Chain A
Amino acid sequence: MITQNEINIARHCISYALEHGADAVRVSVNDSTIDSCTLLNGVMDKVTHAADRSIYLYIFADKRYGTFSTNRLEVSDLEKFIVQSITMVKMLEEDACRTLPAPERTAKDAITGNELGLYDPRYEESDSDSRLARAKSMSMFAEASGEGYEVISEECEYSESCDDNFTADSQGFEGRHTETCFSVFAEMTIQDKEGSKYSGFWWESSFDKDGVDLKGCPKKALERAARQIGPKKRRSGRYKMVVDTTVATKLIAPLLTALNAGSIQQKMSFLDGTLGTKVFPEGMTLMDMARTPKKNGSRMFDTEGVATKDAPIIENGVVKQYFVNTYMAAKMGIEPTVEDISRPCLMPFVKDKALLSDEKALSLKDILEISGNGILVTGFNGGNSNPVTGDFSFGIEGFAFSKGKITHPVREMLITGNLLELWNNLTAVGSDARASVRWQIGTLAFENVSFSA
């Protein structure tokens, strides 16, 4: 955890930089500790302990700007470092758009660091023995077996971490964000009777020590490995596609990159010029739920110190907000918002509203039934998208499904298309996003997707 002395050092850095030629300064102190235990086949394989401490300086001088960091936090070292940093800033070219955010935009309510309840004090009670015990309780290697395959290896990792950030600027902003994280990860590799290997992994993380399922993690990984046995290739063609919630982020992340003002200003966005226009389907709503307490990803301020807020990014298909930091706002002559999204939430949706259940709950099972026949994507294997055109091509693995029921695994297939066209073929968004993840994107369903095999 950041100490009062380190906070005082951060404040000293600001005044020292101002005294030595800076016009404005932002300072960010980061303190992070992580302890992890990894078991291989039920036996301890790796124990790690990491403790990081660093300071970042964002220096504005003579309409010039530079960023600097060091992990040497002794005051005498830092003072020399600041003088060198200011000297370098003054060698760069002028850019009058580089300024701190206006004071009225910065957060005033991030005082303790735990306003959002993301710090579990039980973190401090842990020790190496308790972490080892939790890691050991995960392993199911001794009893792991299944019909038609043998378990080749099991890796289980349990980790606990705490990240603490204190950010301050020369206009009076001070903010703190503290977050604990308890994580489990398991990977199982199995071999079927023909000698083919399959691997499956599963992970969970939560700020809450009780928020992860220790024993369930390797079970889920084994289940995900075993269900891949006996893949078949499906013929190339256009199919309905359902994308499992665990991997749905892959398709929405490029939209958020394209909505960043930095991409737009550099003509590197296929969503340039879409603000206020309807380019996504009616009913598609993406929110930034930045300030929801006790949810992974929530935060009170962005990296500039600007206060976050819950806000629609896409509402009923209309683009409502770009991510515009202070620099881009000045450069583009538009209003600033926040630097990037905190906690993306895609709201549940069904194109054919008659199919929506009374409970408004939409599970993977519901969405497979709604979709009928097609391919369920449970993993992406590489691929990319062109930020300028939105054209994409991704490797996929998953399952064919017919009449709402999974029939057989598929792999070595590719999907290809354009992101705007794909999202306009959206037919459903589930309400089944995993509680423990930052990206709240449920199971997705699309129609008319091009698959190659």
Chain B
Amino acid sequence: MNIAEYYHNTFGVSQQQLDTLIATALAKGGDYADLYFEYTTVFNLLLKDGVVSSGGFHTDCGVGIRVLKGERTGYAYSENLAMGEMLKAAQAASMIAQTDGAPRSYNSSPTSKGDYYRMDTSWRDVSADAFLPFLQDLEKAIFAKDSRVVKVIARLSNSVADIMMYNSLGEITYDTRPLGSVSVTAVFQQNGKTENKNAARSFRTGAELIGPALAQEIADEITTGIDQRFEAVRPKGGQMSVVMGAGASGILLHEAMGHAFEADFNRKGQSIFADKMGTQVCPKGVNVVDDATITGNRGACNYDDEGVSGQKTYMVQDGVLTSFLHDRISAAWYGVESTGNGRRESFRYNPIPRMRATYMESGDADPQDIIASVKEGIYVDEFSNGQVKIGEGDFTFFVKSGYLIENGRLTSPVKDINIIGNGPAALADIQAVGNDLKINNGTWTCGKEQSVAVSCGMPTVLISNLTVGGE
């Protein structure tokens, strides 16, 4: 069976039926229509109190049908792939074309397929019992490394999604997307005090991800820095210099910059960066990328969810804003090519501009020199969540751990503080960029209207002025 046959058989549709659905979707005068077929299997296991006593699998199948008229969207989906049900969805989506408004021409986009996932062994080919020893060994490794551990919760989840996309430009694309994740929470007790820590890894790979090396890596990470966590204090709050540690600090880019550069917010004039294209938004030398092409990365995409090739997109080059993140709608509106950022949670959602792996490229500063340059401030390296207000540009991220910086040295550990800043001001306040870019491979999930898997990264970066929560 060739590739096309596999996907057509999976969804039980012929090329002729695809054309009929597109014709139905466009029957009321739409400018463009596309079909998004999805069959996803999700599998999970949970270890708690020493036993893997909970697990399951879930299957989801359907087709999303979208019609565009100008920039307006008609969207419907069917979970039933019988032709009659799909035609009903196509007719429902076609209704958008009845509204007034100028037509727009939607042109072909790059549709060459990348190869950014590794899947030697499909998750679908491995049964649950094969994974039990991994979770049991992971728990043992964590208990073995720190006698203060009192509880471990470990989750293993994976999904495989078969995707077939077809549009009114005649472009057809096929993709099978694996995603495997392991996440752990450990609880520690010492002298009557309790602390917890999380660690996770997530990759677009196959079942070969699961093995002793991964268990040891997670066990090492989750038991590191616990002494400091028990000692940690709340800093004195206020404005100060913040050194963002390499890796997970990429959450700063995601919140302060990435969302504001998503072109739907800019098309609507809502983003604080809407009129900043081509202007200097960061100091010279700073490059910020949103990248679908890191092999095995959680944010990697061979295609986006509109069938456009996965790409590496420079949002900022040498400090200048050079590109927003586009789906087909915003690309047509701006008269540029899509950057392959049209993504969606599932066939139940229409695609919108979303990030993939967002990071800042390395600069030339030594990370130790960056810390040494700060007289009074804070160093942060572990985070849980963030948020942004698109119009105002105010962003926040929650710091799980870090240190005070006093006279160029890391001193008292700190934890559980929120940091707040304003996007354009924070970017302009970047004082130094380290030479140590690190991509963080945690289970980052972005929740803009829909949940999609993303990742982020950052070298060590000094920002001169952010507001830190404290006593």
Using a CB–CB cutoff of 8 Å, the interface residues on chain A facing chain B are 40, 43-53, 64-72, 81, 84-85, 88-89, 91-95, 98, 128, 152-153, 155, 189, 196-199, 228, 236, 266-268, 331, 381-389, 391-395, 397, 411-416, 450-453
Contacts and interface: CB of A to CB of B under 8 A. Distances in A.
A92 B151 contact: no
A94 B234 CA distance: 43
B467 A452 contact: yes
B389 interface: yes
A72 B96 contact: no
A412 B421 contact: yes
Interface in B179-215: 185, 187, 189, 194-196
A383 B270 contact: no
A90 B239 CA distance: 56
A197 B59 contact: no
A9 to B, nearest CB: 14
Contact of B392 (A40, A89, A199, A268): A199
Contact of B59 (A71, A381, A412): A71
29 contacts: A44-B72, A47-B92, A47-B96, A48-B75, A52-B348, A66-B56, A71-B61, A85-B56, A92-B55, A92-B128, A155-B268, A189-B269, A197-B270, A267-B194, A268-B151, A381-B394, A381-B420, A382-B395, A384-B385, A384-B398, A385-B416, A387-B196, A391-B415, A412-B422, A413-B467, A414-B420, A416-B471, A452-B468, A453-B238
Given A71-B79, A391-B234, 7 more contacts: A48-B75, A49-B76, A92-B55, A92-B132, A381-B396, A395-B418, A411-B394
B270 A152 contact: yes
B48 to A, nearest CB: 7
B95 interface: yes
A46 B73 contact: yes
B469 interface: yes
Interface string B147-166: 00011010000000000000
Given A88-B56, A92-B54, A189-B269, A393 B99 contact: no
Contacts of A92: 45, 52-55, 128, 132
Contacts of B470: 416, 450, 452
Interface string B86-122: 0001001101100111000000000000000000000
A413 B375 CA distance: 23
B187 A266 contact: yes
B74 interface: yes
A4 B310 CA distance: 46
Contacts of B2: none
Interface of A is mostly: strand
A395 B394 CA distance: 10
Interface of B is mostly: strand
A416 B417 contact: yes
The 10 A-B pairs with the shortest beta carbon distances in the complex, nearest first, are: A452-B237, A382-B396, A95-B53, A382-B387, A414-B469, A199-B391, A393-B418, A393-B469, A395-B396, A197-B391
A208 B206 CA distance: 48
A381 B389 CA distance: 8
B59 to A, nearest CB: 5
B51 A94 contact: yes
B151 A266 contact: yes
A102 to B, nearest CB: 20
Interface string B413-454: 001111011100000000000000000000000000000000
Given A381-B396, A414-B418, A450-B471, A388 B237 contact: no
B103 to A, nearest CB: 14
B390 interface: yes
A393 B416 contact: yes
B195 A388 contact: yes
Contacts of B420: 381-382, 395, 412-414
Interface in B122-146: 127-129, 132
B95 A267 contact: no
Nearest to A196: B392
A152 B128 CA distance: 53
Given A43-B99, A416-B418, A199 B389 contact: yes
Interface centre among A45, A128, A452 (most CB of B within 10 A): A452
Contacts of A236: 237-238
Contacts of A412: 394, 420-422, 467
B8 to A, nearest CB: 18
B57 interface: yes
